[in-house]
Chain A
Amino acid sequence: MNGGLLTAAWRNFVRNLRRYRVLLVALVLIVMALTAVLGTMLGLRDAVRAKASRYFAGDLVVLGYTGNGSSLIQQPEEVAAAVAALEAGDTPIPLRTWSRRSTYYNLNSIELFFAGYYTRQRRMVGVEWALERPVLNDFDFAAGGVPEDGDESAILISTATARDLGIAVGDEVLVSIQSDRGRTNTARYIVAGIYTESSFFGYTAYVHRAALNRLREAPPETVNEIGVYLEDSADEATAAASLTAAMRAQGLPVFGVMSDRQAYSQEASRGRDGREYGVVTLGAQLSEINDLLGAITIIAGAIMVLFLGIVTVGVSNTWTMVVWERTREIGTLRALGMQRTGTVGLFLLEALFLGLGGVILGGGLGVALLAGIQRWIRFEPNAFTTLFLTQGRLAWTLPGWGLLGIAGLAVGASLFGALRAAVRAGAVNPVEALRHEQ
């Protein structure tokens, strides 16, 4: 391909733009829709992942089972050493931070009281403020923030909980649970922060690990989960494999990685001779949500591909028409020495310009649409929006591979549509072409 061919193709494309405008508009709309759908879906997925990783203690979580369904880490120092080894190995895996949590699940037993008002929580989490501060700071705090490092009197609650109780930062909330021994126990905490969340992840209260262990009547150093927050969550599978290997190197009995929900529930209840450790990935914890988002993406993608098919047919028809109309021009170019491949290239380049035009304009409009939605539209809280959005807004994401994929699809459709007509143009006999009458 030489510069002359490129210039000629561009000149022809601009000259015939009126003819291509319907196709161009269609391509722009499809690329815009693809960009918006992909950016939205990836944004929803990332928002859920961020919330879920805080909720589940990390992108990877080490659990220790004996078969009774509940996890306990009996050798937290060895597990912590295995976590540290992730960053120190031959192929280091960068960590954001890690967590060492005490957890309490009982939907019927966790009650919070304030001035006669009460609400229930799905679970209570005992964290170490110092250790998880980088992640907890990502909470969208409506008021207050993460407590001082050793503060055992503080509690973080969600906006949903605060609304139920009519409570504010600085107020004292009474928490009642049934302890691990089954006894009703209570403790008072000062509300240090109220994070914006009213979805599935919102009915969780965070206190210091030592404070929760006291409330639970559990030994002070009890650790139920050790989690790892990765810098790049795409490394999840590799990191999980490395972590299990590091735990084995520490001499811990390890049963492996739980990479789906079924394995997770099976391993929790499988009878064992002694305590064994495993790693569950965030992907496994979110498999249902990921499946839902994946299904929506596939359906939306299929509709877009259908539209792309229609565009391909449109391009094909248009180019067939163009080639027929420009037969004399083809003949002249061939008579002046242009090769068959050059003729084919000329028409394909015009289709390439059409595709690229659609990608640039459609991509730009798609990004502008996403940015506009994020900036100007705040969705009312409901079951869907609170789960998938951040502060009621769409936190869209569009990585490079996404943009390249959309560009490839649009340009590919355009080139494929033009291919048959371009090949036919290359096959035109110059003599007959010069005698061609329209």
Chain B
Amino acid sequence: MTYRDRHRHRPTTIRRGHRPGAITALAILAALTALPVPAPLAAQSASGETFTRAESRRILSRADDLVTYPGSDFSAEYTVTEVRPGESTSRTSFVLFRRDSANSYTILIREPAQDRGKGYLRIDENLWLYDPVARRFTVVSASDRFENTGARNDDFNQSTLAEDYTIVGHTTEQLGAYATDVYDLEAVHDDVTFPRMRIWIDQNDLVRKFEDYSLSGQHMRTTAIPSYRQLGDRYVPVRIVIQDELRGREVDGQFRNQRTMIEVDKPSFQAVPDMVFTRTFLERVGD
């Protein structure tokens, strides 16, 4: 059965009432490390399929659309836990305000206490970090690590897979309880953090897992999204686990990767005042 055969019968809307996140979160988490090592990223698609740019866009747009909210603002409380094996575990909590229609977000850090008042402001392709101690904004890169965790600043922006990547390979794979399509992606422009990706998309067009690769094919990190929360016809990833494939420590004779756990609480699509997406807001709140 080829990709097209399987997708010919795929419903165009998400099956309401299906709560995939609650079913196999543990299975996906286990898949971070338990899955067999995939074939080299540049390998030919197992089915020999080739994808035009339009087909790529259509497939990836479906995944993007489920977690992008152009019709409303989005806000939520995030908790990022960084687990460094053999070292300390750190916790960062913040509030995210996102306006996908303007490609903007504002992040206001609440914990740890010494970073309270720090904030990020993204307006289109510009990203600033506000330091309330120095009362100064500095330009940062979307591909920089967020607060020295495994997450990147870009990870909190809307999903733009269809704009950024094209499909160069496809296979299918059972990921825990999910039958997934696995796509190898290559960036179509240079404004992305990782030029190559492999993503696992379930039958509901939700991205369940993705791997980021360098240009030379080095596996850099793996991200699993075991839990989504459905709000109306939209989905919010509420649990994300990022495994750094290069950082870690040997503990008790076993190598353990550095991990970043992101929990999302109280997601809301209530309108957010315009001034939240301004530098003035960060300055006032930071003071």
Contacts and interface: CB of A to CB of B under 8 A. Distances in A.
Interface stretch (B51-59, B222-230, B247-255, B270-278): B247-255
Given A174-B246, A178-B143, A186 B190 contact: no
A182 B246 contact: no
A187 B248 CA distance: 19
A108 to B, nearest CB: 6
Interface residues of A, number: 18
B254 to A, nearest CB: 11
Highest count of chain A CB atoms <10 Å: which of B192, B195, B214: B214
A174 B218 contact: yes
Contact of B190 (A113, A116, A183): A183
Contact of A186 (B187, B191, B192, B214): B214
Contacts of A113: 246-247
A117 B187 CA distance: 28
A265 interface: no
Given A108-B141, A118-B247, A184 B191 contact: no
B138 to A, nearest CB: 11
Q: Which 8 A-B pairs have the closest CB atoms?
A: A116-B248, A186-B218, A186-B214, A185-B215, A183-B195, A113-B246, A181-B190, A182-B190
Contacts of B146: none
B194 interface: yes
Interface string A150-180: 0000000000000000000000001010110
B246 A179 contact: no
Contacts of B212: 184
A216 to B, nearest CB: 11
Interface string B133-171: 000000001011000000000000000000000000000
Contacts of A117: 247, 249
A116 B216 contact: no
Interface of B: 141, 143-144, 187, 190-195, 212, 214-216, 218, 220, 246-250, 255, 257-258
Contacts of A78: none
Contacts of B247: 113, 116-118
A55 to B, nearest CB: 25
Interface string A28-61: 0000000000000000000000000000000000
Contacts of A184: 143, 193-195, 212, 214-215, 220
A140 interface: no
A116 B246 contact: yes
A217 interface: yes
Interface of A: 108, 113, 115-118, 174, 176, 178-179, 181-187, 217
Given A176-B220, A178-B143, A184-B215, A118 B195 contact: no
B215 A176 contact: no
Contact of A176 (B214, B249, B258): B214
Given A118-B246, A174-B246, A182 B218 contact: no
Contact of B187 (A178, A183, A185): A183
Given A116-B255, A176-B220, A185 B214 contact: yes
Given A182-B190, A183-B194, A184-B215, 7 more contacts: A108-B144, A116-B248, A116-B255, A183-B190, A184-B193, A185-B216, A187-B216
B265 to A, nearest CB: 30
A179 B214 CA distance: 10
Contacts of B195: 183-185
A176 B221 CA distance: 13
A117 B85 CA distance: 11
A155 to B, nearest CB: 15
Contacts of A181: 190
B85 to A, nearest CB: 8
A174 B213 CA distance: 13
Highest count of chain B CB atoms <10 Å: which of A186, A187, A217: A186
B217 to A, nearest CB: 8
Nearest to A214: B216
A181 B189 CA distance: 9
Contacts of A178: 143
A172 B258 CA distance: 20
B218 A116 contact: no
B18 to A, nearest CB: 35
A391 to B, nearest CB: 31
Nearest to B195: A183
A118 B249 CA distance: 11
A117 B87 CA distance: 12
A176 B248 contact: no
Contacts of A183: 187, 190, 192, 194-195, 214-215
Contacts of B190: 181-183
B168 to A, nearest CB: 15
A108 B152 CA distance: 13
B211 to A, nearest CB: 13
A187 B217 CA distance: 10
Contacts of A217: 215
Nearest to A182: B190
Nearest to B220: A184
28 contacts: A108-B141, A113-B246, A113-B247, A115-B250, A116-B250, A116-B255, A116-B258, A117-B247, A118-B246, A118-B247, A174-B246, A176-B218, A176-B220, A176-B246, A178-B143, A179-B215, A181-B190, A182-B143, A183-B187, A183-B195, A183-B215, A184-B195, A184-B212, A184-B214, A184-B215, A186-B214, A186-B216, A187-B216
A282 B195 CA distance: 39
A178 B247 CA distance: 18
A396 B246 CA distance: 44
Contacts of B141: 108
Contacts of B194: 183-184
A145 to B, nearest CB: 27
Highest count of chain A CB atoms <10 Å: which of B194, B216, B220: B216
B149 to A, nearest CB: 14
B215 A182 contact: no
A83 B184 CA distance: 50
A174 B220 CA distance: 11
Nearest to A185: B215
Contacts of B250: 115-116
Nearest to B255: A116
Nearest to B216: A186
Given A183-B187, A183-B215, A116 B143 contact: no
Contacts of B255: 116
Nearest to A217: B215
Contacts of B187: 183
A292 to B, nearest CB: 26
Nearest to B84: A116
